[in-house]
Chains A and B, each alone.
Chain A
């Protein structure tokens, strides 16, 4: 069952995008030499989509990232406050039972108390001020980056201003062979060839280039034509926009650099795959020729750059056409990574589904949370409550423990909503009716009279009654008593063997 929303906050997009960028880099480190080079620009494109589109897809594949999945506490302070309802409930119930035993609600009380504190702490007014100044800072940085990039772009445009259009037979043949339409220019003030433009494609060749060297010309134009064919400049354009949006994120800047490199490598490979033996060697020479007179890399255009050539030159002799296995491996990787990336991180959602469901005769009370965002349809909460109640009431008197009931509830909800059981996080805890507790106490020799407890005829000073997981915990004390009682229960609520200790230190 899929659920799609489009409201992921920008900083979270940047965070996930950064994580994805690191994943792509790691993948390249591990398999870069074996995979077809085009794989990486495709993966970068996926990262770019993440950086721009605030989608949030939740599917059974979605990772429940613990950092963000700490869920209710952290998220409720940002999103809709999921926990407010139970908190209110508690305060309403508490006074009635405060005198003696707070059955089954000890854990919940402390849990909700923490939640209330946390969300208060985080939604403190000062935070809004911080958010406002952060937003301002972000906008200033974004505009700053934009202006800087625009200034660099203008500088490049200035350089290209006196370019002269050419119609060269060799060039035209190559373009035709590659199935690319582009205007070709010579330019005095560039020293390495470049492909520019997005809607209208242009190739700029340095005037000083040796036009008599037909092979060199073919190689260069093929390379640039590949940039155009694969829309590399569109990619760079989006990359620049991403830099403005996520300027504060060093991983995105790293990505910009690596993306440019991968685009060059992919184009080199595209040229090489069209060449045979000796021509490949001469392509390496072409790369070198352009490198010796070349300048440094450019964020704006796709061009040959000197810094890169050594790395790229090494790739040329090692080049082998990728086999079917590697191509299919690459396809699987791209699809797989995309799926994981796309649904890996989701935005905040209201994770609370049911709270405090209890059935007569069953000593376990249950809360249910969602591990991922799911659209459970109309009346989800009512249906969930009923399903949980059904499991609990059918288990009445069977002495089932918390963990077994948690599994059964998840299973029942999974059936009810047609979603995988892992989507539900069920928290079961003991909740034993007062009357039952008093019967159990009576068996241990604890009697109650006028709201006070007596053990072995002595007035009780304190009762500590808890289970293994500490979900059921009651500590009550009376200053004038003289007996301390300790009771230990198993997860079904029964008192354990040797689970009772009494310390009489003064007989009132």
Chain B
């Protein structure tokens, strides 16, 4: 574990977390319907998940089992981010998180008000 999950890998994990163990073929069908990925794309992404140790692949039919829960994955990725970028300080991370958003809470609210006004 430890390697960051990319967005596409997360999409695969989300399917597995939602549905439990599935065959690779089934995963590709689901993602093909949702996003529109072709079979090869999905297989490649599954292989990356397997390489990173987030998914176990069993015969027959390439049964895919998530080796980590969604909560664990979130925890892992957050911790890693905090360790790597904020020297382990959650506080630094949080303030950066708040600052880093392009739209502040106030602005979002302001926009929301504008939209509601026009009703």
Name 20 extra pairs, CB < 8 A, besides A164-B41, A288-B111: A164-B38, A166-B35, A166-B41, A167-B36, A167-B38, A171-B36, A184-B36, A206-B7, A207-B6, A207-B8, A207-B10, A208-B7, A208-B10, A284-B111, A284-B115, A292-B102, A294-B102, A310-B111, A313-B114, A313-B115
Say yes or no: A318 contacts B118, CB within 8 Å. Answer: yes
Complex interface: chain B residues within 8 A of A317 (CB):
114-115, 117-118
Query: Is A291 an interface residue when CB atoms closer than 8 A count as contact?
Result: yes
- Chain B residues 89-119 with CB under 8 Å of chain A are 101-103, 107-108, 110-111, 114-115, 117-119
Complex interface: chain B residues within 8 A of A285 (CB):
115
Say yes or no: A188 contacts B6, CB within 8 Å. Answer: yes
Query: Is B19 an interface residue when CB atoms closer than 8 A count as contact?
Result: no
Complex interface: chain A residues within 8 A of B107 (CB):
310
Query: For residue B5, which residue of chain A has the nearest CB?
Result: A188
Say yes or no: A307 contacts B115, CB within 8 Å. Answer: no
- Rounded to whole angstroms, the CA-CA distance of A171 and B10 in the bound complex is 21
Query: Is A435 an interface residue when CB atoms closer than 8 A count as contact?
Result: no
A285-305 interface code vs B (CB 8 A; 1 in, 0 out): 100100110101000000000
Query: For residue B107, which residue of chain A has the nearest CB?
Result: A310
A34 CB, nearest partner CB in chain B, Å:
18
Complex interface: chain B residues within 8 A of A164 (CB):
8, 37-38, 41, 44-45
Partner of B34, one of A211, A281, A316: A211
Query: Is B57 an interface residue when CB atoms closer than 8 A count as contact?
Result: no
Query: Is B11 an interface residue when CB atoms closer than 8 A count as contact?
Result: yes
A255 CB, nearest partner CB in chain B, Å:
24
Say yes or no: B111 contacts A207, CB within 8 Å. Answer: no
Query: For residue B9, which residue of chain A has the nearest CB?
Result: A188
Query: For residue B10, which residue of chain A has the nearest CB?
Result: A208
Query: Range of interface residues on chain A?
Result: 20 to 34
Complex interface: chain B residues within 8 A of A169 (CB):
36
Q: 8 A-B residue contacts at CB 8 Å?
A: A165-B37, A165-B41, A166-B36, A166-B41, A207-B7, A292-B103, A310-B103, A316-B115
- Rounded to whole angstroms, the CA-CA distance of A291 and B112 in the bound complex is 13
10 residue pairs, one from A and one from B, having the closest CB atoms: A168-B36, A317-B118, A166-B36, A306-B102, A207-B7, A164-B41, A188-B7, A208-B7, A188-B6, A167-B36
Query: Is A314 an interface residue when CB atoms closer than 8 A count as contact?
Result: yes
Which residues on A are within 8 Å of B, measured CB to CB? 164-169, 171, 184, 186, 188, 206-208, 211-212, 281, 284-285, 288, 291-292, 294, 296, 306-307, 309-310, 313-314, 316-318
Query: For residue A314, which residue of chain B has the nearest CB?
Result: B114
B114 CB, nearest partner CB in chain A, Å:
6
Complex interface: chain B residues within 8 A of A207 (CB):
6-8, 10-11, 35
Main secondary structure of the interface of B (DSSP, over half): helix
Say yes or no: A211 contacts B35, CB within 8 Å. Answer: yes
B10-30 interface code vs A (CB 8 A; 1 in, 0 out): 110000000000000000000
Say yes or no: A188 contacts B8, CB within 8 Å. Answer: yes
Complex interface: chain A residues within 8 A of B35 (CB):
166, 168, 186, 207, 211
- Chain B residues 40-65 with CB under 8 Å of chain A are 41, 44-45
Query: For residue B119, which residue of chain A has the nearest CB?
Result: A281
- Rounded to whole angstroms, the CA-CA distance of A281 and B109 in the bound complex is 15
A455 CB, nearest partner CB in chain B, Å:
89
Say yes or no: A281 contacts B114, CB within 8 Å. Answer: no
Q: Given A207-B8, A309-B103, do A165 and B38 touch, yes or no (CB 8 Å)?
A: yes
Say yes or no: A212 contacts B34, CB within 8 Å. Answer: yes
- Rounded to whole angstroms, the CA-CA distance of A497 and B107 in the bound complex is 80
Complex interface: chain B residues within 8 A of A316 (CB):
115, 118
Q: Given A212-B34, A310-B107, A314-B114, do A292 and B101 touch, yes or no (CB 8 Å)?
A: yes
Complex interface: chain B residues within 8 A of A318 (CB):
118
Say yes or no: A166 contacts B37, CB within 8 Å. Answer: yes
A385 CB, nearest partner CB in chain B, Å:
70
- Rounded to whole angstroms, the CA-CA distance of A55 and B24 in the bound complex is 62
Complex interface: chain A residues within 8 A of B11 (CB):
207
A321 CB, nearest partner CB in chain B, Å:
15
Q: Given A166-B37, A167-B38, A186-B35, do A281 and B103 touch, yes or no (CB 8 Å)?
A: no
Complex interface: chain B residues within 8 A of A314 (CB):
111, 114
Complex interface: chain A residues within 8 A of B37 (CB):
164-166, 186
Complex interface: chain B residues within 8 A of A186 (CB):
8, 35, 37
Say yes or no: A306 contacts B8, CB within 8 Å. Answer: no
- Rounded to whole angstroms, the CA-CA distance of A186 and B7 in the bound complex is 10
A274 CB, nearest partner CB in chain B, Å:
18
- Rounded to whole angstroms, the CA-CA distance of A208 and B11 in the bound complex is 8
Complex interface: chain B residues within 8 A of A307 (CB):
102
Complex interface: chain A residues within 8 A of B8 (CB):
164, 186, 188, 207
- Rounded to whole angstroms, the CA-CA distance of A316 and B116 in the bound complex is 12
- Rounded to whole angstroms, the CA-CA distance of A285 and B10 in the bound complex is 24
Say yes or no: A288 contacts B108, CB within 8 Å. Answer: yes
Complex interface: chain A residues within 8 A of B45 (CB):
164
Complex interface: chain A residues within 8 A of B102 (CB):
291-292, 294, 296, 306-307
